[in-house]
Amino acid sequence: MLPAITFLLTAASVFFFALLILGVLQRAFEQYKERYVTKSMNDLSDMFLFVDPGQILLLNIAAFLMVAGMGFLLGGFFLGALMGIAGFFAPIGAVQFYRARRVEKFNLQLQDALQQISNALRAGLTFQQAMEAVGKESPAPLRQEFGLFIKEVKLGVPVDEALLNMANRVGSEDLELVATSTNIARQLGGNMAEMYETIAATIRERFRLEGKIKSLTSQGKMQGWIVSSLPLVIGLFLNWYRPDLMEPMFDGFFGYALVSIIVMMMATAFVFIRKIVNIDV
């Protein structure tokens, strides 16, 4: 009788514990969908890439399984878990990387567009006509953003609001400067053609300084990548060449703790190096 009662109590405990874990995982999954998946979808929509949220979630799961499998084959369970976590968030990182590249490309196009708008204003065109003419002649992403701006204005959105919408959508500090300066000039008056020339020259000078800083700090960035990746490369080589030397690292708690400390220290060193060589202009 006593073993049966013990079995029932154990089974009930396991059942309720499983329900608790399931509830926690479900809430975590909902928060993940709300924070990361929805944010990625909004970022892609702002970049004129319309993707279903379910596809983003499936991409994250597929990346997690693929990268975790590779890590398990290369270094066992511990490396598979680390690479699986990195793979799960890799699509989100790719979206952020693509967005940063798009903003950089937009800023490069913006300095030439401002000069063209200045010339169009001097030729007698209105601000809306100048924006439309420059947008049609420019490549993406500037053509996409200027085109959406013109469509909003034609649908009745005020020019000031449409400019702010475009600045918030793109996420460019240079465009925010242009939008704020344009709205002030339209309200208080001023020579907008000269203003756009001044802003274009300022952006062009900032790009020149950023290029010079990147060339001076490129060696430090490369050192950060080499120092951070060297232990991993050596560990993988030893695991392939002399597995008996690496096997004790993954046999007990001490080995896993030591590897975790090494990973955390190398990640901290990489972050500090990036902070040192990352100079904002």
**How many helices and strands (H and E) does the chain possess?**
11, 0
- Is residue 225 within 8 A of residue 47, CB to CB? The reply is no
Would you say residue 30 has pLDDT above 70? no
**Would you state the pLDDT for residue 260?**
80
Q: CA-to-CA distance for 33 and 27, rounded, in angstroms?
A: 10
pTM above 0.95, yes or no: no
Q: CA triplet 154, 155, 157: central angle to 5 degrees? A: 90
d(CA 110, CA 196): 11
Which band of pLDDT confidence, cut at 50, 70 and 90, is reported for residue 262? confident
Which pLDDT belongs to residue 162?
92
Helix, strand, coil percent values for the chain (each to nearest 5): 90, 0, 10
Confidence of residue 217 (pLDDT cuts 50, 70, 90): confident
Phi-psi category of residue 108: left, alpha or beta, with phi > 0 → left and psi -120 to 50 → alpha: alpha
How high is the mean pLDDT of the chain? 79
Nearest to 32 by CA among 66, 61, 70: 61
Average pLDDT over residues 100-129: 90
Reference 144, options 194, 111, 200, 103; nearest CA is 103
User: What is the C-alpha separation between 18 and 178, in angstroms, rounded?
Assistant: 56
Are the C-beta atoms of residues 60 and 91 closer than 8 Å to each other? yes
| 191: its two tokens | 């020579």
State how far the Cα of 204 lies from the Cα of 83, in Å rounded to an integer: 41
Q: How far apart are CA 243 and CA 154, in angstroms?
A: 68
pLDDT at 15 over 60: no
Q: Which of 94-108, 152-166, 217-231 has the highest mean pLDDT?
A: 152-166
pLDDT digits (tens, 9 = 90+) for 125-155: 988 899 999 988 888 889 988 998 999 999 9
Distance from C-alpha of 193 to C-alpha of 122, rounded to nearest angstrom:
6
Would you state the structure tokens that stand for residue 60, as one six-digit string? 């994250």
**Per-residue pLDDT tens for 172-213?**
888 999 999 998 888 887 788 899 999 999 888 888 888 888
Indicate the pLDDT class of residue 117, thresholds 50, 70 and 90: very high
DSSP track, 44-61: HHHTT----HHHHHHHHH
Cα–Cα distance for residue pair 239/185, rounded to 1 Å: 65
